[in-house]
Structure 1
Amino acid sequence: MSAQEERRALTSRPSLYAHVLGLLAAEPDGRPRAGGYPPPEEPSPPPGAERLRGKKAFAAVRSALGPLLSGPCTRAAVEAVERRLAELPVPVGALVGAVLSLPLDDESTARALGRRLVRTGRDSRSVSVGLALMRRLGEPEDVPSLRTLSRLRNLAGLAVTALEPLDPQTAALRWLDDRIRGPELRPLVDALLTGAVAEVRAFLVGRAGDVRLVGPSPARRIAEAVGLVGLLRAERVDPRLLAQAGRLLVRMASPRDYQAEILCYGDAVESCDALVRRATALPPTVEHAAVLLSLAVDLHSGPTRLLPWRDGQCEQLLEALGALLTSPAWEGAFAEPGQDATSAVRQRAAWLRYTSGLLFRTPGPPGRLRIAVLSRDPADAEPVEARVLVDGEPLVPALFGRGAAEAPEYLLDRRALWATEEPHEVKLAEAWCSEGCCGALRVTVVREGDEVVWRDWQHPARLPSGDPAPVLPAYRFDAAAYDAELARASRSDGWSWPARTAGRLIGAGLREDPGLLARWDARFLHAGADTRDPDTTVLWFLYRPGFSEGTAGEDGPWLQFVWRLPDDGAPPAERAAAALRRLAEEDPRAYADCIAGSR
């Protein structure tokens, strides 16, 4: 089909907005189809549609659409947009990205054109441009059309993004409907879609385990879709709902996502405040203590601390949680478990005691720098972080926000943060997906006389919110106070558990005597607890032929091994000593598992 024939076919098509309205009107029960509607068949993309990307795509979009975004908004302008888009060799994703970053000289004209494209656009490319403009310029009157187009599967993501600041509850429900298919959460989504209030309530008070498993993004959308802050402000609130609200708020602050979802939740401040004020209604159980303490961890040094609090409000909530959890009524929740308790129960109990002591019973040391080794509830399998606070503010969520702070084994045990006159680079955090995907936060640490300086920051150019990352100055610390704080943080090991402690001791032994592995042409990589089995200690090492003689090249053959040491009941120090003796006497390649390497 020629370009002229494609345009002729396009002009005979109804708008996508009218198409969805027709589908909705045809539903026999008047309810939209769960999961949305498939898009209608469209003309084939323009020749070479995948050719232009990046700066070239931006330049092409700006040249084609820029003049139309500042001229009169007429039917002819809409047709011109469709005509130019049909011939523009730019894929839809790059097209939307370019429109989101285009300078807009006349916002009212661009808004009017976006509205026309949303309602009259006859293909996904032109409607996507309209939705991108509505994402930037939308107003409350645009909500009905955005709700309608969010029913079309190929446009749902962009329509929901445009809806979020205008109607977060509907946007959240559409997001959940579009993405949730599993049996754990789908009943909740279906109940919300049908307005089954009793079923929604039953889910919220009875599915604690399911909510613990959801990711940060679904947790935020669930809170928005159910109107969580309104439920917490009700005259009478079921304690089970209070606990569930706490779990959702903690999940939103998890670093296992591309951004801290708690910072995107518009009702976060009000929800946290309402929950803490009603927390006295919770029975003093281990489960409830874990929920409240996890929330306290994030109020102390997680992304939750960065919310737009009123002066002193965050500190007041943290103080209120401390007063509650350290009161005599809650002593039983922090007690040592019985001898027949499982290792998971013991680990959780130890975490409760260590974390409450660090947050509520140990005054913070003076000085600019504070290192707090913390984690949320270990039952949620969240990472242990060596959180860096400068002047009381958490550095990683404020400057990076894409993942957790580095582990204490790296920043403290391996002395990465220790400063010498020789500058060295330190990785403070890595994106949850990987550094190669979404970057890392790095800084150069050097000692200059009686000061320690952090300078030459490296981080992604933009924050997860899309805002430009701040230009970071050099941070200067008094060297004596700096050394004292690192020494204090290194002495604390209450955050660890037997398998992890054994791994740390093995790692310390191999750093003190690298020859234990070098004699086998091997180099130590890491030792710790298995993420899937916290009771198992794991040691990773790299084998390179000729390493012991200094003839192994970086480009030469290699193998990576992992040695798993299940818990045998011995104290961590004995397990570590036995492991080091075996490494000294037997080639570890004979009993470790090869997991990667050269062919």
Structure 2
Amino acid sequence: MSAPEERTALPPASLYSQALRLLRAEPDGRLPEGGYALPGPPERRPRTGTSWKSACAALTAVLTPLVSRTGASSDADPDAVADPGNDPGTDNDPGTGTDPRSDAPGVAQAAEEIHLRLVGLSIRGGHVRSVVARLPLPDEGRARALGRCLTRTGTSPMAVCVGLALLTRLGEPEDVPYLRVLGGLRDLADHAVQTLDPLDGPAAALVWLGHHARGPELRGLVDALAAGEESSVPGLLDAVLRKVNAVRPETARRVAEAVRLADLLREARPGGAGLVAGAGRVLCRMSSVNDYRAEVLACPVAVGLFEAFAVRAADLPPTLDHHALLLSVALELHSGPSRLLEWGPGRREALLDRLESVLGRPEWRALLAGGSTGSGDSAGQRRLGWARRTARQPFRRDAGGTGPAGRLRIEATVLDPVDPGIVETRILIDGRPLVPAAFGRGGAHAPEYLLDSGRLRATDEPREVQLAEAYCTEGCCGALHVTIRRDGDHVVWSDWRRPSPPPSLLPVRELPEYRFEAAAYDAEIARAENDHGWTWPARRTARLIAAGLRDRPDLLTRWNVEQGWIGTDFRDRDRTTVNLAHRASPPTGSGAEDGSGAEDGRRQHLVWHIPDDGTSPEHRAAAALRRLAAEDPRTYGGGGAGRSARSS
């Protein structure tokens, strides 16, 4: 046989062996940003038009007889399915040597059958994960061996994905080196990370960061971790933690996992304020719902990190930044998504007690008692006002189903003003935050929507209420709806509507029908509606204007103007913003001058800005309502109120 014929006869190299060669060619084992594309020509994308259900059904029919069968093969000898040339600790050519799959009869044949039968199926990695997660595995040893065979010798991405999905269920620590290598391939990275997560969290985080880390500080930290340069990690980590508020919540979570942040906090010598503050910022960032879901719920070390931070909280010097940080962590433990973590009896309450003890010290109380931040900036004054208004909220003990409302607690919650525009209505039932538990694509609506409008009040007529909406809008990713009705001496929440499947990071479960004692329910809703302690002057002004317009709708209808959103300016929280809309008159000669074609007019949006002039919110709101009674808002342009317009 000629040399070209010999090369043609050789079996294709496994994706694992190709990824290993690429990684070995990199200096110090550093993964290039974004990882590697799959070797060879681009894989043909699955044809469109196949539904998710149909694709999963076809894949189930292919995999069930091959994956779910029993046999004499087992994983007692892991080398039985590992190509010795693929071992991460050797330099052998992956394409040489005896094919070790012959040592695992039945498994090798099943792997080859899977390769052949997947060809032509219109499937993606998501289909594979979904199907394999539900397959019966009566012989786990054989299934594990098959997963290893497919991941270490597989030559097609979907076949390797089947192996990764099997090892997600059955993998062991010895699989970690192989999974890390496969994680270098861009199209397999997410699948490898999902398989690594339960086996080796730091390794999974490092693979994920290798593909997603951006910016010199973060890239430097990832490269140092990959190369094992332990001496340079502390300085690089400090630079990352200082800017962690600017990264995505999942990035913050993966950094905490990759560097074993909880262990670093426990081992650090006293006085490490920078590390402690950085850990607090990480906790706040990965608890944010501004990126659709609270990553803290997917972090297996979150409870330990909260505990390590609380123990070291006393190391922080008393500054406004540190006060806001401790208060933010306390708010999260009190009513945020982190309350849903597996705490065990009394552990979360003990952390709140510890944080309350630190903030209760004289030097910390003096920060709030002072009349100035010392910096003279409006942002600092705004933050100081928030800290004063919020100081006691996370340390109340009436949000656990034992307060006057019994099972229900409604809290308007404002987060640190450095995170702009985050005001939500937190709903706790039996002490558990409802929205993060049932809906993973955004936070609950603001108090103006749920409370000021009276939407949560129970009447004899059932009423569907949208409690939360996906961060990208309901039309894109859905919303959480419930029907509220009065039933004799009870109020019932039932008939839930939400996206399917639920995207929450918590285990999927059906939402039950909740029944509340009507008297306690009404009292809690009334208390929440009349709680104005969370507002700041501009927001209070906005709420008073909105209330005045609900009482007197004629103030707008007389001008043929419709009410839009009323709140505070996103860029300046000390400025009240009133959004109005109207239809511009159609052009003369259009045939609509008699009003019959009013819909043909372009809809114009007016934005009326009301600055903080030092007067009380009540005074400013009353002045705004008087002006609406006397002047057409379409003519506003001066007199202390800014005006802008746009058309649609």
Same fold, TM-score > 0.5, yes or no: yes
Residues 544 and 552 of structure 1 are in contact (CA less than 8 Å); yes or no, is this contact kept in structure 2?
no
Distance 1:153 1:327, change over 3 A: same
Distance 2:123 2:395 in 1: 56
Distance 2:635 2:597 in 1: 23
Distance 2:461 2:209 in 1: 51
**1:349 to 2:384 alignment:** yes
> 5+ unaligned residues in a row in structure 1: which ranges?
1-7
Q: What is the Cα deviation at residue 529 of structure 1? A: 0.9
- Residue number in structure 2 paired with 1:569: 613
Q: What amino acid is aligned across from residue 153 of structure 1 in structure 2?
A: R
Q: What amino acid is aligned across from residue 282 of structure 1 in structure 2?
A: L
Query: What number of residue pairs does the alignment pair up?
Result: 587
**1:447 to 2:486 alignment:** yes
Q: 2:319 aligns with which of 282, 285, 291?
A: 285
Distance 1:43 1:459, change over 3 A: closer
- Residue number in structure 2 paired with 1:213: 246
Q: Which has the larger radius of gyration?
A: 2
Q: What amino acid is aligned across from residue 552 of structure 2 in structure 1?
A: D
3-state SS of 2:392 partner: helix
Residues 490 and 515 of structure 2 are in contact (CA less than 8 Å); yes or no, is this contact kept in structure 1?
yes
- Residue number in structure 1 paired with 2:148: 115
Residues 462 and 468 of structure 1 are in contact (CA less than 8 Å); yes or no, is this contact kept in structure 2?
no
**1:494 to 2:494 alignment:** no
Tell me the percent identity. Answer: 49
Q: What amino acid is aligned across from residue 609 of structure 2 in structure 1?
A: L
**1:41 to 2:40 alignment:** yes
**1:234 to 2:267 alignment:** yes
- Residue number in structure 2 paired with 1:147: 180
| Greater displacement, 327-336 / 142-151 | 327-336
RMSD: 3.0
Q: What is the Cα deviation at residue 408 of structure 1? A: 0.9
Distance 1:133 1:434, change over 3 A: farther
Distance 1:50 1:305 in 2: 42
**1:163 to 2:196 alignment:** yes
Distance 1:209 1:582, change over 3 A: farther
Residues 253 and 303 of structure 1 are in contact (CA less than 8 Å); yes or no, is this contact kept in structure 2?
yes
TM-score, normalising length: structure 2: 0.83
Query: For 1:102-132, what per-residue CA distance to the aligned partner results, in whole angstroms no more than 9, with x for missing partners?
Result: 4445443333222111111112222122222
Distance 1:220 1:522, change over 3 A: same
Residues 583 and 599 of structure 2 are in contact (CA less than 8 Å); yes or no, is this contact kept in structure 1?
no
| Greater displacement, 33-42 / 370-379 | 33-42
Q: What amino acid is aligned across from residue 12 of structure 2 in structure 1?
A: R
- Residue number in structure 1 paired with 2:628: 583
3-state SS of 1:311 partner: coil
Query: For 1:466-509, what per-residue CA distance to the aligned partner results, in whole angstroms no more than 9, with x for missing partners?
Result: 66643333322222222222222223223222222222122112
Q: What is the Cα deviation at residue 206 of structure 1? A: 5.0
Distance 1:166 1:362, change over 3 A: closer
| Greater displacement, 25-34 / 117-126 | 25-34
Distance 1:344 1:537 in 2: 16
Distance 1:10 1:306, change over 3 A: farther
| Greater displacement, 269-278 / 428-437 | 428-437
Distance 1:510 1:183, change over 3 A: farther
3-state SS of 1:379 partner: coil
Q: What amino acid is aligned across from residue 330 of structure 1 in structure 2?
A: W
**1:380 to 2:419 alignment:** yes
| Greater displacement, 368-377 / 286-295 | 368-377
- Residue number in structure 2 paired with 1:435: 474
Residues 50 and 91 of structure 1 are in contact (CA less than 8 Å); yes or no, is this contact kept in structure 2?
no
Distance 1:556 1:74, change over 3 A: farther
Q: What is the Cα deviation at residue 568 of structure 1? A: 4.6
Distance 1:92 1:471, change over 3 A: closer
**1:333 to 2:377 alignment:** no
- Residue number in structure 2 paired with 1:54: 52
Q: What amino acid is aligned across from residue 372 of structure 2 in structure 1?
A: G
- Residue number in structure 2 paired with 1:13: 12
> 5+ unaligned residues in a row in structure 2: which ranges?
1-6, 72-105, 586-594, 637-642
Residues 184 and 210 of structure 1 are in contact (CA less than 8 Å); yes or no, is this contact kept in structure 2?
no
Distance 1:175 1:368, change over 3 A: same
Q: What amino acid is aligned across from residue 368 of structure 2 in structure 1?
A: F
Residues 51 and 90 of structure 1 are in contact (CA less than 8 Å); yes or no, is this contact kept in structure 2?
no
Q: What is the Cα deviation at residue 320 of structure 1? A: 1.8
Residues 438 and 504 of structure 2 are in contact (CA less than 8 Å); yes or no, is this contact kept in structure 1?
no
TM-score, normalising length: structure 1: 0.90
Q: 2:215 aligns with which of 182, 204, 219?
A: 182
3-state SS of 2:267 partner: coil
Q: What amino acid is aligned across from residue 234 of structure 1 in structure 2?
A: E
Distance 2:198 2:434 in 1: 27
3-state SS of 2:579 partner: strand
**1:369 to 2:401 alignment:** no
Distance 1:42 1:11, change over 3 A: farther
Q: What is the Cα deviation at residue 84 of structure 1? A: 1.5
